[in-house]
Amino acid sequence: MFKTKKEAERLAQYLRTRFVRFLVSQLSFSQDITKERFLFVPVLNMTTQWTDELLNRRYGISKDEIAFIESKIRPMEVKDE
């Protein structure tokens, strides 16, 4: 699917953003994660390292909307492997 390991790592980082996790949560009614839960998540080019800040700018998310998302979705800590 990806041409480089870096692109795969960027997908993992994208999936950990509050933006993506908030969108997934809109269709999650249990702990089960199926492909249908990702219906609202945009498919983006993984040559870019997506962050919440970039995603908020790209989709014109307002400060109030950012505050709402941040109130619902905790930051995700990533431990070094």
Domain residue ranges of the chain, discontinuous segments joined by +: 5-72
At 37-81, the pLDDT tens digits run: 999 999 999 999 999 999 999 999 999 999 999 999 999 887 765
Give SS3 for 33. coil
Give SS3 for 61. coil
How is residue 60 written in tokens?
């014109």
Whether residue 37 contacts residue 27, with contact meaning beta carbons closer than 8 Å, is answered with yes
* Helix, strand, coil % in the chain, rounded to nearest 5: 50, 0, 50
The whole-model pTM stands at: 0.89
DSSP H or E run through 62: none
